[in-house]
Chain A
Amino acid sequence: MKLVKKILLYEVHNTIRSRWVIFYTFFFFLVGYALFTFSGEVSKAYISLMNIVLIIIPLISVIFGSIYFYNSREFIEMMLSQPIDRKSLFLGIFLGVAIPLSAGFALGFSIPFLLFGKVTEQLTGFLLLLLLGMLLTFIFIALSFLISVKQDDKSKGLGLAILIWLILAVVYDGIVVMIIYFFQDYPLENTMIILSATNPIDLGRILFLMKFDIAALMGYTGAVFQRFFGSSLGMIISISCLLIWVLLPFVLSSRFFNKKDF
């Protein structure tokens, strides 16, 4: 763990000095600030913020993570020639990217709420969105590392990263709608819950909508989701699913990293 701490410290230094992270923090600040300035209603601002969190965070995290990993390749080689084990180095680099990026989001996201005094108005919503944003950062950086460890070609890796984002953020919903359309005569509640759990972006969206009591807009499926995700057990299960989404790609990529030739 000592080695991880040492690596982490320097990686964090490197990441927070990057223009990306500064721009990213400022972006969330600006969006929140504009939403609260132009729309007085907190719930409307929340829905807009949710959409931005669910689309922008995965996109930026997956691209930033891939570029960072590819650019660190020679440095990783240099570090691996030092007395250090691969697992510590990998964990140090992962946390060194994920912590500053999620902290940048948390900062940029929270300041407008504090400035406009909106934190307490719907505290669960605020905390849930904050948690979701940070979890999605970790998930998509873990996915980007998995791609970068397996794919040596930078342009192919970046293409794959964007493709995965496109599938999870856009195409997946289309597939779900198609399944509902073709199998509308069958009971689909459990299938829908499973389908949602296998996409972290969907999982985040439903989790947030449930907490915001607008599930009624989603008709019968909404009622099923409400029953599942609305309960505290459903909440625990869905957050656990998101944590699995962080751990699974991380553990897999760490294993590949361990065997990789540099």
Chain B
Amino acid sequence: MDISIKEHERYASKANLSKGINDVQKAIDLLTKTREAVVADPQSASSTVTRAQKPLKDCFASVKEDLLEVYRGNGKYQKTLEAKFKDKPFPTSDNNALATQTPLINRAIAMHLLREGQFDVASQFLTDITSATHHPSPPSTTPTHSPSAEESLSSIDPIHSPTLRHSFEQMYSILSSLRQHRDLLPAIAWSRIRSQELENRGSNLEFELAQLQFIHLFDTQGRDAALAYARAEDHHFAHFQSRYLNELSRLASSLAYQPSLASSPYRALFLAQGTWDDLARSFTREFCSLLGLSAQSPLYIAATAGAIALPTLLKLQTIMKDKRAEWTTAQELPVEIPLPPSYQFHSIFVCPVSKEQTTDENPPMMMPCGHVVAQETLCRMARGSRFKCPYCPSESRPVDAVKLFM
């Protein structure tokens, strides 16, 4: 960074008022002495006072000089900052469609706070937004950007209902048992209730929790406790049998090695350090998914993606302003914004012929040869009759094409 901490410290230690204060003190001392001299020798008061005039002037001159130094320092630092942010104007506000969406923004924030486990802040936030909607600041005649109270409340309503809050409270209480107390039972109880849904998703969570519980008991209380658990869970381990036969037999075999597990082929099973964290993560993920929510806060991902995208968008804004160009397709951004791969969620299909992204209105169509183009492209090429695939020699009819969902 072009502003280093050292540079700032240098600036802060030089450009401050302390010297000026010292010089004001000198003026005070001077006048105090003058006063004493006048009291001690009233006869020469006139000359004493006159003699003090020059030194007082000097004192003030040095305070002035001290202040000037602060002024210069501030100015220089200000310039450094300006240079640093010179090419970075904030986007103009008139094209921000979000400015009028306060209730939706508030809802997103409230849900973010809940999913992050910030329950106290979330309650405060709900109180604040409710009182703000109930008492809009005194008789306002500009309802344009403050939607009516009912409107805001209805769109916020889902977060006012306690269900979501309870769900996340449950999630955090399960997570804290798991992480802090190594207590898996609440998580196991939850996964058992959700067993069918988890299985439909192809999730191994329920089994992994039971497995870790077995290992944990083995580790902390010995073989008998672990076996007792497995037996008590018998009906459940039986339920696991079809899907997890291999894993179950591994667990059973490991018991044979008991005193020297560390050198057994099963040590990975028992000594893996990250297991608890991994399990906590996959629990969070499954829990959120069953609520239809993504595992990481969408608000976090969107704000981070925004920070990554902004430099590109601002460059674009500057160029368009220079060229006085208007970007007309309000539907699609005019530039490609590269994001980290973990920020890609959907498959994207760009028609190789028209170069357009496919949409509901213009979906991707697969020809019998397995090649894909956008529907509009297909219609243009075919004109109702047989046509040749642009990628291979095979011919097909539009009716043979299959609509794809990516």
A and B associate in one complex: no
User: A residues within 8 Å of B by Cβ?
Assistant: none
